Every structure is written in C-alpha cells, then in structure tokens.
Amino acid sequence: MSKFLRESMSKFKELIDGSTAVLVDMYADWCGPCKALAPELKTLKQSVGDKVKIIKIDVDKNTEVANKFNVRGVPTMILFKEGKILWRQSGVMDAAAIEKEIESFL
C-alpha cells in the first residue's frame, strides 16, 4: 500500500473512530441516484445538527475505502460510531426516512 493510501485510510479511520456518529455517503460523480441523494443529506444535516457528521467519499477516488467496506453499488450510506458499523443502506432515501433509521443510534 502506498504512503498516500495509508495516510488516507488513517484519516478515514480517525474520523469514524470518534464518539460522534458519522454517516458516510459512498458516491460517484457519474451516478444519477447519488445526485438525487445529495439534497436529502443536506436536509438531514439541518435536522440532526451536530449529532451526526455527514461526509461524502467518492468511490472512484477512494477505492481502498470502498473495497474495505465492500461497497459494490452507489449510493451506499454507512453509519459509524466508535469505529463500528451501526447501519448500512444502498440506494436513495429521503431525509426523514434516513433520520428514522439512524435515530436509535444517536
């Protein structure tokens, strides 16, 4: 593994290992459903505030992260807290449905 990949994975691991929940949106620029999910995640962020960090990971630019978490389709959302996967879903959902799914983990 190159130094860049090790540093990239290290930064990602540091982010998801915290006590604050992190919702990771695995997406691709060419993906239509990913573009449809983006405004839903903005709405979700307004609703959940600082209870959840929401980050986007481009699977084409971060293949090591996508492979590590076995992402085979986009969009895929993965909720992490303290390094553990708490919830995972592929496909587009509206903000209210996402919030309902992850609420019990917050």
| Ranges assigned E (strand) in 1-106 | 21-27, 52-58, 76-81, 84-90
- Any catalytic annotation for residue 31? yes
Q: Given the residues 8, 9, 15, 31, select the one marked as catalytic.
A: 31
CB burial of residue 37 (10 Å; 0-12, 13-18, 19+): buried
Q: What would the two tokens of residue 62 be?
A: 């971060």
Q: Given the residues 34, 77, 95, 98, select the one marked as catalytic.
A: 34
Q: How far is C-alpha 23 from the geometric centre of its chain's CA atoms?
A: 4
What's at 91, amino acid-wise? G
Question: What is the signed CA dihedral for 14, 19, 21, 26, rounded to 10 degrees?
Answer: 10
- Any catalytic annotation for residue 94? no
- Known catalytic residues are 31, 34
